[in-house]
A = this chain, B = another copy of it.
Amino acid sequence: MLTVLPVARAQQVIVQSLVMKPARKEPVSLQNAPGRVTAGDIFAPEELPSFPRSTMDGFAVRSEDTFGASEGLPALLNIKGNILMGKEPPGALAPGEAMSIPTGGMLPQGSDSVVMVEYCEQMGDSVAVLRPVAPLENTIQAGDDYKLGDLLLPSSRLIRPQDAGVMAALGLVKIEVAVRPRVVIFSTGDEVVPPQEIPQAGQVRDVNGFLLAAQVRENGGDAVYGGIIADRKESLLEALLQALAEADLVLVSGGSSVGTRDVAIEAINALPGAGVLFHGVAMRPGKPLLYGMSEGKPVFGLSGNPVSAMFGFILFVRPMLRMLCGLPPFSDFVPTIEAILETNIASNGGREDYVRVSLSFENGAGNIVRACPVFGGPGLLQTVVQGDGYFVIPRDVEGLTEGSIVKVTLF
Protein backbone atom coordinates (compact mmCIF):
# COMPACT_ATOMS: atom_id res chain seq x y z
CA MET A 1 0.00 0.00 0.00
CA LEU A 2 1.24 3.45 -0.80
CA THR A 3 1.15 6.02 1.90
CA VAL A 4 2.25 9.59 2.34
CA LEU A 5 5.72 9.53 3.95
CA PRO A 6 7.43 12.11 6.13
CA VAL A 7 10.27 13.93 4.30
CA ALA A 8 13.12 12.25 6.21
CA ARG A 9 11.63 8.79 5.70
CA ALA A 10 11.14 9.39 1.97
CA GLN A 11 14.77 10.53 1.71
CA GLN A 12 15.86 7.40 3.52
CA VAL A 13 13.92 5.18 1.12
CA ILE A 14 15.55 6.95 -1.83
CA VAL A 15 19.09 6.74 -0.45
CA GLN A 16 18.72 3.08 0.49
CA SER A 17 17.19 2.09 -2.82
CA LEU A 18 20.36 2.73 -4.79
CA VAL A 19 22.86 -0.10 -4.97
CA MET A 20 26.09 1.86 -5.31
CA LYS A 21 28.31 0.69 -8.13
CA PRO A 22 31.95 1.70 -8.58
CA ALA A 23 31.92 5.06 -10.35
CA ARG A 24 32.46 5.05 -14.09
CA LYS A 25 35.65 7.05 -14.58
CA GLU A 26 36.95 9.35 -17.24
CA PRO A 27 40.16 11.33 -17.44
CA VAL A 28 39.93 15.11 -17.63
CA SER A 29 42.62 17.72 -18.00
CA LEU A 30 43.48 19.67 -14.87
CA GLN A 31 41.81 22.75 -16.32
CA ASN A 32 38.49 20.90 -16.57
CA ALA A 33 38.74 19.19 -13.19
CA PRO A 34 37.20 21.86 -10.93
CA GLY A 35 33.55 21.08 -10.29
CA ARG A 36 34.04 17.37 -11.01
CA VAL A 37 34.21 14.58 -8.44
CA THR A 38 37.31 12.47 -7.77
CA ALA A 39 36.89 8.83 -8.81
CA GLY A 40 39.50 7.34 -6.51
CA ASP A 41 41.95 8.50 -3.87
CA ILE A 42 44.64 10.81 -5.20
CA PHE A 43 48.07 10.56 -3.54
CA ALA A 44 51.09 12.84 -3.72
CA PRO A 45 53.42 11.38 -6.39
CA GLU A 46 56.36 13.35 -4.95
CA GLU A 47 57.01 15.62 -2.01
CA LEU A 48 55.90 19.24 -1.94
CA PRO A 49 57.89 21.42 -1.95
CA SER A 50 60.55 19.29 -3.60
CA PHE A 51 63.39 21.31 -2.08
CA PRO A 52 63.88 23.49 1.02
CA ARG A 53 62.77 27.08 0.30
CA SER A 54 63.14 30.44 1.91
CA THR A 55 59.94 32.25 2.94
CA MET A 56 61.75 35.60 3.26
CA ASP A 57 64.24 37.80 1.47
CA GLY A 58 67.53 37.59 3.37
CA PHE A 59 70.57 35.41 3.90
CA ALA A 60 70.69 31.63 4.07
CA VAL A 61 72.82 30.66 7.04
CA ARG A 62 73.63 27.85 9.45
CA SER A 63 71.55 28.81 12.43
CA GLU A 64 74.27 27.85 14.91
CA ASP A 65 76.50 30.54 13.37
CA THR A 66 73.99 33.18 14.53
CA PHE A 67 73.44 32.02 18.09
CA GLY A 68 74.16 34.89 20.48
CA ALA A 69 74.22 37.51 17.70
CA SER A 70 72.94 40.98 18.66
CA GLU A 71 73.10 44.55 17.39
CA GLY A 72 76.00 45.19 19.73
CA LEU A 73 77.82 41.98 18.80
CA PRO A 74 76.66 40.83 15.35
CA ALA A 75 77.72 37.52 13.83
CA LEU A 76 79.98 38.22 10.88
CA LEU A 77 79.61 35.76 8.00
CA ASN A 78 81.35 35.49 4.62
CA ILE A 79 79.03 35.91 1.66
CA LYS A 80 79.65 32.79 -0.38
CA GLY A 81 77.41 33.85 -3.27
CA ASN A 82 73.91 34.84 -4.36
CA ILE A 83 71.08 32.39 -4.81
CA LEU A 84 68.90 33.14 -7.84
CA MET A 85 65.21 32.24 -8.24
CA GLY A 86 64.75 28.99 -10.08
CA LYS A 87 68.43 28.05 -9.87
CA GLU A 88 70.45 25.66 -7.78
CA PRO A 89 72.51 27.50 -5.16
CA PRO A 90 76.15 28.06 -6.18
CA GLY A 91 77.54 25.34 -3.92
CA ALA A 92 77.11 24.29 -0.31
CA LEU A 93 77.40 26.43 2.81
CA ALA A 94 80.35 25.88 5.11
CA PRO A 95 80.49 27.12 8.73
CA GLY A 96 80.86 30.90 8.91
CA GLU A 97 79.28 31.42 5.46
CA ALA A 98 76.06 32.96 4.18
CA MET A 99 74.35 33.34 0.78
CA SER A 100 71.83 36.00 -0.19
CA ILE A 101 68.48 34.38 -0.98
CA PRO A 102 65.15 35.68 -2.31
CA THR A 103 61.72 34.59 -1.03
CA GLY A 104 61.07 31.22 -2.65
CA GLY A 105 64.74 30.59 -3.35
CA MET A 106 66.35 27.17 -2.80
CA LEU A 107 68.39 26.77 0.39
CA PRO A 108 71.97 25.60 -0.14
CA GLN A 109 73.22 22.40 1.43
CA GLY A 110 74.53 23.09 4.90
CA SER A 111 72.06 25.90 5.52
CA ASP A 112 69.06 25.32 7.79
CA SER A 113 67.56 28.81 8.15
CA VAL A 114 67.24 32.30 6.70
CA VAL A 115 67.92 35.62 8.39
CA MET A 116 65.53 38.33 7.19
CA VAL A 117 67.23 41.08 5.23
CA GLU A 118 66.01 43.58 7.86
CA TYR A 119 68.39 42.01 10.41
CA CYS A 120 71.42 41.95 8.13
CA GLU A 121 74.02 44.56 7.25
CA GLN A 122 76.05 43.80 4.14
CA MET A 123 79.60 45.13 4.08
CA GLY A 124 81.44 44.13 0.92
CA ASP A 125 81.94 40.36 0.96
CA SER A 126 80.57 39.86 4.46
CA VAL A 127 77.27 40.26 6.23
CA ALA A 128 76.67 41.25 9.85
CA VAL A 129 73.78 39.30 11.32
CA LEU A 130 72.10 41.33 14.08
CA ARG A 131 69.81 38.66 15.51
CA PRO A 132 69.99 34.92 15.97
CA VAL A 133 67.69 32.60 13.98
CA ALA A 134 66.38 29.26 15.12
CA PRO A 135 66.90 26.11 13.05
CA LEU A 136 64.30 25.98 10.21
CA GLU A 137 63.28 29.62 10.79
CA ASN A 138 61.97 31.38 7.65
CA THR A 139 62.11 28.19 5.62
CA ILE A 140 59.77 25.55 4.28
CA GLN A 141 61.45 22.19 4.21
CA ALA A 142 61.03 19.62 1.44
CA GLY A 143 57.81 17.70 2.10
CA ASP A 144 56.47 20.20 4.65
CA ASP A 145 53.26 20.60 2.62
CA TYR A 146 52.88 17.01 1.34
CA LYS A 147 55.09 13.99 1.70
CA LEU A 148 55.45 11.34 -0.99
CA GLY A 149 52.35 9.12 -0.81
CA ASP A 150 50.26 11.48 1.33
CA LEU A 151 46.56 11.46 0.54
CA LEU A 152 45.87 14.64 -1.43
CA LEU A 153 42.18 14.16 -2.13
CA PRO A 154 40.02 11.23 -1.11
CA SER A 155 37.70 9.55 -3.55
CA SER A 156 34.19 11.06 -3.96
CA ARG A 157 35.27 14.62 -3.38
CA LEU A 158 34.23 17.68 -5.30
CA ILE A 159 37.32 19.30 -6.82
CA ARG A 160 37.60 22.96 -5.81
CA PRO A 161 39.97 25.59 -7.23
CA GLN A 162 42.59 24.99 -4.54
CA ASP A 163 42.42 21.25 -5.17
CA ALA A 164 43.27 21.93 -8.81
CA GLY A 165 46.08 24.09 -7.47
CA VAL A 166 47.67 21.34 -5.43
CA MET A 167 47.40 18.93 -8.34
CA ALA A 168 49.16 21.49 -10.55
CA ALA A 169 51.89 21.78 -7.92
CA LEU A 170 52.46 18.03 -8.10
CA GLY A 171 52.29 17.71 -11.87
CA LEU A 172 48.96 15.86 -11.92
CA VAL A 173 47.67 17.21 -15.21
CA LYS A 174 45.20 14.41 -16.02
CA ILE A 175 42.71 13.48 -13.32
CA GLU A 176 40.36 10.52 -13.12
CA VAL A 177 36.90 11.84 -12.30
CA ALA A 178 33.47 10.26 -12.08
CA VAL A 179 31.47 10.41 -15.31
CA ARG A 180 28.58 12.86 -15.00
CA PRO A 181 25.34 10.95 -14.54
CA ARG A 182 23.00 11.17 -17.50
CA VAL A 183 19.59 12.44 -16.47
CA VAL A 184 16.72 12.29 -18.95
CA ILE A 185 13.87 14.72 -18.27
CA PHE A 186 10.35 14.35 -19.61
CA SER A 187 7.39 16.63 -19.25
CA THR A 188 3.99 15.05 -19.56
CA GLY A 189 0.58 16.50 -20.18
CA ASP A 190 -1.82 16.92 -23.05
CA GLU A 191 -1.92 20.62 -22.24
CA VAL A 192 1.84 21.20 -22.46
CA VAL A 193 3.53 22.77 -25.50
CA PRO A 194 7.20 23.73 -26.01
CA PRO A 195 8.20 27.25 -24.86
CA GLN A 196 8.76 28.49 -28.41
CA GLU A 197 5.11 27.77 -29.34
CA ILE A 198 2.11 30.01 -28.80
CA PRO A 199 -0.28 28.05 -26.61
CA GLN A 200 -3.89 27.63 -27.72
CA ALA A 201 -6.71 28.15 -25.23
CA GLY A 202 -6.22 25.63 -22.42
CA GLN A 203 -2.58 24.97 -23.27
CA VAL A 204 0.48 26.01 -21.30
CA ARG A 205 4.18 26.10 -22.11
CA ASP A 206 6.57 23.55 -20.63
CA VAL A 207 8.23 25.06 -17.57
CA ASN A 208 9.47 22.00 -15.72
CA GLY A 209 11.63 20.67 -18.55
CA PHE A 210 13.78 23.80 -18.36
CA LEU A 211 13.61 24.26 -14.61
CA LEU A 212 14.64 20.68 -13.86
CA ALA A 213 17.35 20.62 -16.55
CA ALA A 214 18.88 23.73 -14.97
CA GLN A 215 18.73 22.14 -11.51
CA VAL A 216 20.35 18.96 -12.83
CA ARG A 217 23.19 20.90 -14.48
CA GLU A 218 23.72 23.05 -11.40
CA ASN A 219 24.25 19.85 -9.43
CA GLY A 220 26.71 18.17 -11.76
CA GLY A 221 24.39 16.06 -13.90
CA ASP A 222 24.31 15.77 -17.66
CA ALA A 223 20.73 16.86 -18.40
CA VAL A 224 19.02 15.54 -21.51
CA TYR A 225 15.63 17.01 -22.31
CA GLY A 226 13.43 14.19 -23.55
CA GLY A 227 10.53 16.39 -24.63
CA ILE A 228 6.80 16.36 -23.95
CA ILE A 229 4.93 13.07 -23.63
CA ALA A 230 1.17 12.58 -23.96
CA ASP A 231 -0.79 11.56 -20.85
CA ARG A 232 -1.23 7.92 -21.85
CA LYS A 233 0.36 4.95 -20.18
CA GLU A 234 1.68 3.52 -23.47
CA SER A 235 3.36 6.76 -24.57
CA LEU A 236 4.98 7.27 -21.21
CA LEU A 237 6.06 3.64 -20.87
CA GLU A 238 7.68 3.70 -24.31
CA ALA A 239 9.50 6.95 -23.52
CA LEU A 240 10.70 5.61 -20.16
CA LEU A 241 11.95 2.36 -21.68
CA GLN A 242 13.91 4.22 -24.31
CA ALA A 243 15.36 6.68 -21.79
CA LEU A 244 16.32 4.00 -19.25
CA ALA A 245 18.45 2.23 -21.85
CA GLU A 246 20.96 5.09 -21.63
CA ALA A 247 20.08 7.17 -18.60
CA ASP A 248 21.27 6.84 -15.01
CA LEU A 249 18.21 8.66 -13.71
CA VAL A 250 14.87 9.62 -15.24
CA LEU A 251 12.67 12.51 -14.18
CA VAL A 252 9.08 12.78 -15.31
CA SER A 253 7.06 15.79 -14.34
CA GLY A 254 3.44 16.61 -14.91
CA GLY A 255 0.06 15.36 -14.03
CA SER A 256 -1.33 16.85 -10.87
CA SER A 257 -4.78 15.48 -11.54
CA VAL A 258 -5.74 12.07 -10.25
CA GLY A 259 -6.04 10.64 -13.75
CA THR A 260 -2.61 11.68 -14.92
CA ARG A 261 -1.01 10.64 -11.65
CA ASP A 262 -2.42 7.21 -12.16
CA VAL A 263 -0.93 7.12 -15.65
CA ALA A 264 2.54 7.77 -14.22
CA ILE A 265 2.10 5.12 -11.52
CA GLU A 266 0.90 2.55 -14.04
CA ALA A 267 3.72 3.31 -16.46
CA ILE A 268 6.41 3.05 -13.78
CA ASN A 269 4.90 -0.15 -12.38
CA ALA A 270 4.95 -1.61 -15.90
CA LEU A 271 8.71 -1.11 -16.27
CA PRO A 272 10.91 -4.22 -16.06
CA GLY A 273 12.00 -4.95 -12.50
CA ALA A 274 10.08 -1.91 -11.50
CA GLY A 275 8.24 -0.84 -8.50
CA VAL A 276 6.78 2.38 -7.24
CA LEU A 277 8.41 2.69 -3.81
CA PHE A 278 6.30 5.54 -2.56
CA HIS A 279 3.86 8.10 -3.72
CA GLY A 280 3.34 11.26 -1.73
CA VAL A 281 5.40 13.08 0.88
CA ALA A 282 4.04 15.02 3.84
CA MET A 283 5.30 18.40 2.78
CA ARG A 284 4.18 21.57 1.12
CA PRO A 285 4.88 22.34 -1.65
CA GLY A 286 5.79 19.08 -3.30
CA LYS A 287 3.40 16.51 -1.88
CA PRO A 288 2.65 14.52 -5.04
CA LEU A 289 6.05 12.89 -5.44
CA LEU A 290 6.36 9.49 -7.01
CA TYR A 291 9.49 7.37 -6.68
CA GLY A 292 10.28 4.07 -8.29
CA MET A 293 13.06 1.87 -9.58
CA SER A 294 13.53 -0.04 -12.78
CA GLU A 295 16.36 -2.56 -12.77
CA GLY A 296 18.39 -0.51 -10.33
CA LYS A 297 17.75 2.82 -12.04
CA PRO A 298 15.76 5.47 -10.19
CA VAL A 299 12.71 7.13 -11.72
CA PHE A 300 11.05 10.18 -10.18
CA GLY A 301 7.56 11.38 -10.94
CA LEU A 302 7.46 15.04 -9.98
CA SER A 303 4.46 17.30 -9.77
CA GLY A 304 3.40 19.21 -12.87
CA ASN A 305 3.29 22.24 -10.65
CA PRO A 306 6.67 23.97 -11.14
CA VAL A 307 7.14 25.06 -7.53
CA SER A 308 6.35 21.58 -6.25
CA ALA A 309 8.63 20.04 -8.86
CA MET A 310 11.42 22.41 -7.83
CA PHE A 311 11.17 21.46 -4.16
CA GLY A 312 10.82 17.81 -5.11
CA PHE A 313 14.13 18.18 -6.88
CA ILE A 314 15.85 19.96 -3.99
CA LEU A 315 14.73 17.48 -1.35
CA PHE A 316 14.63 14.16 -3.17
CA VAL A 317 16.19 14.19 -6.62
CA ARG A 318 19.32 16.06 -5.54
CA PRO A 319 20.43 13.49 -2.94
CA MET A 320 20.05 10.76 -5.59
CA LEU A 321 21.86 12.85 -8.20
CA ARG A 322 24.67 13.53 -5.73
CA MET A 323 25.06 9.80 -5.13
CA LEU A 324 25.15 9.13 -8.87
CA CYS A 325 27.84 11.86 -9.11
CA GLY A 326 29.87 9.92 -6.56
CA LEU A 327 29.14 12.28 -3.66
CA PRO A 328 27.43 11.51 -0.35
CA PRO A 329 23.66 12.16 -0.68
CA PHE A 330 23.64 15.03 1.80
CA SER A 331 26.27 17.55 2.74
CA ASP A 332 26.96 17.75 6.47
CA PHE A 333 27.46 21.48 6.15
CA VAL A 334 24.64 23.52 4.69
CA PRO A 335 25.33 27.24 4.87
CA THR A 336 22.33 29.34 5.81
CA ILE A 337 21.45 32.94 6.53
CA GLU A 338 19.94 33.89 9.86
CA ALA A 339 17.05 36.24 9.40
CA ILE A 340 14.24 37.77 11.41
CA LEU A 341 10.79 36.67 10.31
CA GLU A 342 8.64 39.68 9.45
CA THR A 343 5.16 38.15 9.88
CA ASN A 344 3.34 35.42 11.72
CA ILE A 345 3.09 32.20 9.74
CA ALA A 346 0.61 29.41 10.33
CA SER A 347 1.43 25.87 9.32
CA ASN A 348 -0.59 22.69 9.20
CA GLY A 349 0.65 20.14 11.68
CA GLY A 350 1.62 16.79 10.16
CA ARG A 351 3.64 18.07 7.24
CA GLU A 352 6.78 20.08 6.65
CA ASP A 353 6.23 23.53 5.28
CA TYR A 354 8.86 25.02 2.97
CA VAL A 355 8.26 28.74 3.30
CA ARG A 356 9.61 30.87 0.45
CA VAL A 357 10.97 34.21 1.58
CA SER A 358 12.52 37.29 0.10
CA LEU A 359 15.35 38.75 2.16
CA SER A 360 16.13 42.35 2.84
CA PHE A 361 19.23 43.77 4.38
CA GLU A 362 19.23 46.48 6.97
CA ASN A 363 22.49 48.32 6.82
CA GLY A 364 23.76 49.55 10.13
CA ALA A 365 23.52 48.18 13.60
CA GLY A 366 24.22 44.47 13.51
CA ASN A 367 23.61 44.08 9.77
CA ILE A 368 20.18 42.60 10.31
CA VAL A 369 18.61 40.44 7.60
CA ARG A 370 14.83 40.30 7.44
CA ALA A 371 12.84 37.45 5.88
CA CYS A 372 9.51 38.29 4.32
CA PRO A 373 7.39 35.32 3.20
CA VAL A 374 6.34 35.40 -0.45
CA PHE A 375 2.78 34.23 -0.14
CA GLY A 376 0.99 32.45 -2.93
CA GLY A 377 0.03 28.91 -3.78
CA PRO A 378 2.50 26.46 -5.22
CA GLY A 379 1.00 27.19 -8.63
CA LEU A 380 2.61 30.62 -8.67
CA LEU A 381 6.16 30.85 -9.99
CA GLN A 382 6.56 34.29 -8.43
CA THR A 383 6.96 32.68 -5.01
CA VAL A 384 10.30 31.22 -6.09
CA VAL A 385 11.31 33.89 -8.63
CA GLN A 386 10.82 36.77 -6.20
CA GLY A 387 12.00 34.62 -3.32
CA ASP A 388 15.65 34.43 -2.33
CA GLY A 389 15.37 31.18 -0.46
CA TYR A 390 13.33 29.17 2.00
CA PHE A 391 13.16 27.93 5.55
CA VAL A 392 11.41 24.90 6.98
CA ILE A 393 8.63 24.69 9.52
CA PRO A 394 8.92 21.17 10.95
CA ARG A 395 6.00 18.75 11.09
CA ASP A 396 5.32 19.16 14.77
CA VAL A 397 5.30 22.97 14.77
CA GLU A 398 2.03 24.75 14.13
CA GLY A 399 3.52 28.03 13.02
CA LEU A 400 6.01 30.77 13.79
CA THR A 401 5.49 34.22 15.20
CA GLU A 402 6.79 37.50 13.84
CA GLY A 403 10.30 38.19 15.10
CA SER A 404 11.34 34.52 15.18
CA ILE A 405 14.86 33.79 13.96
CA VAL A 406 14.78 31.56 10.89
CA LYS A 407 17.65 29.93 9.01
CA VAL A 408 17.22 30.59 5.31
CA THR A 409 18.75 28.40 2.62
CA LEU A 410 19.29 30.34 -0.60
CA PHE A 411 17.79 28.87 -3.77
Give the B-binding residues of A (Cβ under 8 A): 30-31, 34-35, 48-51, 53, 55, 57, 84-89, 102-106, 117, 140, 144-146, 152-153, 160-173, 189-192, 195-215, 217-218, 225, 231, 256-260, 304, 306, 310, 332-337, 359, 361, 369, 376-377, 379-382, 384-385, 388, 408-411
Contacts and interface: CB of A to CB of B under 8 A. Distances in A.
Contacts of A217: 34
Contacts of A376: 145
B31 A169 contact: no
Given A51-B202, A161-B214, A385 B34 contact: no
B84 A48 contact: no
Contacts of A306: 162, 165, 169
A196 B209 contact: no
B166 A85 contact: no
A210 B211 CA distance: 32
A377 to B, nearest CB: 7
Given A199-B50, A306-B162, A335-B409, A168 B209 contact: yes
- Interface hub of A197, A198, A376, A379 (most chain B Cβ within 10 A): A379
Contacts of A55: 377, 379
A256 B103 contact: yes
A342 to B, nearest CB: 15
Given A153-B385, A259-B102, A380 B204 contact: no
A289 B410 CA distance: 32
A81 to B, nearest CB: 13
24 contacts: A31-B225, A53-B379, A85-B202, A85-B257, A86-B189, A87-B201, A102-B260, A106-B202, A160-B214, A160-B411, A161-B211, A161-B411, A162-B381, A162-B385, A164-B211, A166-B207, A168-B207, A168-B211, A169-B205, A171-B196, A171-B205, A332-B369, A335-B337, A335-B410
Contacts of A384: 162, 165
Contacts of A106: 201-202
A166 B411 contact: no
Contacts of A225: 31
Contacts of A411: 160-162
Given A85-B202, A102-B260, A146-B382, 20 more contacts: A30-B195, A34-B214, A53-B379, A57-B258, A85-B190, A86-B191, A117-B258, A140-B379, A144-B380, A145-B381, A161-B210, A161-B211, A161-B214, A161-B310, A162-B385, A165-B210, A168-B195, A170-B205, A333-B359, A333-B410
Contacts of A86: 189-192, 200, 202-203
Contacts of A408: 333
Copies in the complex: 2
B380 A145 contact: yes
Given A34-B214, A257-B102, A337-B333, A310 B162 contact: yes
B359 A332 contact: yes
Given A201-B51, A202-B85, A195 B171 contact: yes
A214 B164 contact: yes
Contacts of A165: 207-208, 210-211, 214, 306, 310, 381, 384-385
A105 B361 CA distance: 40
A104 B256 contact: yes
Contacts of A260: 85, 102
A208 B385 CA distance: 37
Contacts of A169: 195, 204-205, 207, 306, 381
Top 5 A-B residue pairs of the complex, sorted by shortest distance between their CB atoms: A86-B191, A335-B335, A161-B214, A165-B211, A102-B257
A332 B162 CA distance: 25
A361 B171 CA distance: 33
